[in-house]
Amino acid sequence: MSDATFTFRVDDALKAEFTQAAKAKDRTGAQLLRDFMRDYVRQQQEAAEHDAWFRREVQIGIDSANAGNLIPAADVEAEAAEWRAETRRKLIDSAS
């Protein structure tokens, strides 16, 4: 891997505070900036991967719905009512 120089402007006070904070962690400013850059790139890659996964899952759902694989609302509500009743029973039992 070849190295490249990354140049940017920053306020003198911020640079001094950053340098001091880096030294307190026994690091150089350049080391911390490289770490921050790596972390940022990793976070962006993870976000892009999650977004792609989510979009695939949504498309699967849309395709399934378009194919007629739907659950009637009354069935969903009946199951939810059962869940709520079970939760109430557990709360009452745990309060006893």
In a structure prediction context, what are the per-residue pLDDT tens digits for the chain, which is 96 residues long? 788 998 999 999 999 999 999 999 999 999 999 999 999 999 999 999 999 999 999 999 999 999 999 999 999 999 999 999 999 999 999 988
Q: What pLDDT does residue 92 have?
A: 92
Q: How far apart are CA 32 and CA 16, in angstroms?
A: 14
Neighbouring C-beta atoms of residue 88, cutoff 10 Å: 10
